[in-house]
């Protein structure tokens, strides 16, 4: 496995209307190597834009995005493609290929980017799925034959099959039922413990962040208004954070109504 790598955003600005209505306004973030960071914020706060900047899918208007010792904003073409070997990504809907079996979905990155013989591909697929609690009896199944939680496991297996040093999660629990949400949280915790990856989770799932995060960043109106640990996050007096927490408290209170 590649040695765990850190990620840094330095004074990053990004807008989509010639400098007007900036989504990010001088964002500074430090994602320590080997740690799990949640980026929280309301819809439209810039969480997904931040993820795309880290991946090099977008370029900042100004500022720097450092990944494993290189500024992603300065890379292009082959250099950018080669540097993306550091990343694994779990997309919101897992982004599995419907017409491929589970084995083919997980093996696909190895077929595309390596020259491993098929017996080694098989061994890596078997090992990676095993880390996530899956066995060979699902190899020949298709994604539509699996539950939502199992599809998330397959998506994670594909994300880590090339042994990245940085794992990015795009809203991993959005739209999931409560039981599957718990399953996904357990998977994130397992990978954090077993692989010691630099993990960045884009989310608005407060319970998961409080349970799992080594640190939490909160995006509001283009700025990072909180950066720290969970126990300090719940004590923050920032109005946007308090509104976020209050909405969560109301949800919990509703569950307690008999």
Q: Which fold has domain 39-255?
A: Rossmann fold (3.40.50)
Residue 219 pLDDT > 90, yes or no?
Answer: yes
Residue 77 pLDDT > 60, yes or no?
Answer: yes
Contacts for 229 with CB less than 8 Å, ≥ 6 apart? 213, 214, 215, 216
Q: What pLDDT sits at residue 229?
A: 95
Whole-number percent of the chain with pLDDT over 90: 51
For residues 226-254, average pLDDT: 87
Stated length of the chain: 258
Residue 210 pLDDT > 70, yes or no?
Answer: yes
Contacts for 140 with CB less than 8 Å, ≥ 6 apart? 101, 102, 103
Instruction: Put the strands of the sheet holding 166-170 in their side by side order.
Output: 87-90, 166-170, 198-202, 36-40, 215-220, 223-228
CA–CA separation, 191 vs 81, rounded Å? 24
* Least confident piece of the model among 24-33, 61-70, 144-153: 144-153
CA–CA separation, 103 vs 107, rounded Å? 6
Whole-number percent of the chain with pLDDT over 70: 94
Contacts for 192 with CB less than 8 Å, ≥ 6 apart? 36, 199, 212
* Beta-bridge mates of residue 25: 13
Residue 255 pLDDT > 60, yes or no?
Answer: no
Q: What pLDDT sits at residue 3?
A: 45
Residue 118 pLDDT > 50, yes or no?
Answer: yes
Is 32:225 a contact under the CB 8 Å cutoff?
A: no
Is 230:213 a contact under the CB 8 Å cutoff?
A: yes
Per residue in 136-173, pLDDT (tens digit) is 889 999 999 998 888 888 999 999 999 898 999 998 88
For residues 242-249, average pLDDT: 87
Q: Is residue 56 helix, strand or coil?
A: coil
Q: What pLDDT sits at residue 42?
A: 86
CA-CA-CA-CA torsion sign (134, 204, 208, 53):
positive
If we measure between CA atoms, which residue out of 43, 44, 41 comes closest to residue 29?
A: 41
* Least confident piece of the model among 70-84, 112-126, 218-232: 70-84
């Amino acid at each position: 496995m590649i040695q765990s790598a850190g990620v840094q955003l330095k004074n990053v600005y990004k807008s989509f209307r010639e400098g007007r209505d900036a989504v990010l306004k001088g964002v500074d973030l430090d994602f320590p190597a080997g740690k799990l960071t949640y980026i929280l914020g309301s819809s439209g706060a810039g969480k997904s834009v931040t993820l795309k900047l880290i991946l090099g899918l977008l370029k900042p208007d100004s500022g720097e995005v450092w990944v494993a010792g290189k500024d992603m904003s300065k890379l292009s073409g082959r250099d950018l493609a080669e540097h993306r070997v550091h990343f694994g990504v779990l997309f919101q809907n897992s982004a599995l290929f419907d017409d491929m079996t589970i084995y083919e979905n997980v093996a696909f990155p190895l077929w595309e980017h390596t020259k491993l013989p098929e017996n080694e591909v098989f061994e890596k697929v078997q090992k990676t799925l095993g880390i996530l609690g899956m066995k060979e009896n699902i190899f020949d199944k298709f994604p539509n034959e699996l539950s939502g939680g199992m599809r998330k496991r397959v998506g994670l297996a594909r994300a880590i099959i090339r042994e990245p040093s940085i794992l990015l999660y795009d809203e991993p629990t959005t739209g999931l039922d409560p039981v599957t949400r718990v399953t996904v949280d357990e998977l994130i915790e397992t990978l954090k413990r077993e692989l010691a990856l630099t993990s960045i989770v884009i989310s608005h799932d407060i319970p998961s962040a409080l349970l799992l995060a080594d640190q939490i960043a909160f995006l509001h109106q283009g700025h990072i208004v909180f950066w720290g640990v969970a126990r300090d996050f719940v004590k923050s007096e920032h109005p946007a954070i308090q509104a976020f927490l209050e909405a969560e408290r109301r949800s919990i209170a509703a569950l307690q109504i008999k």
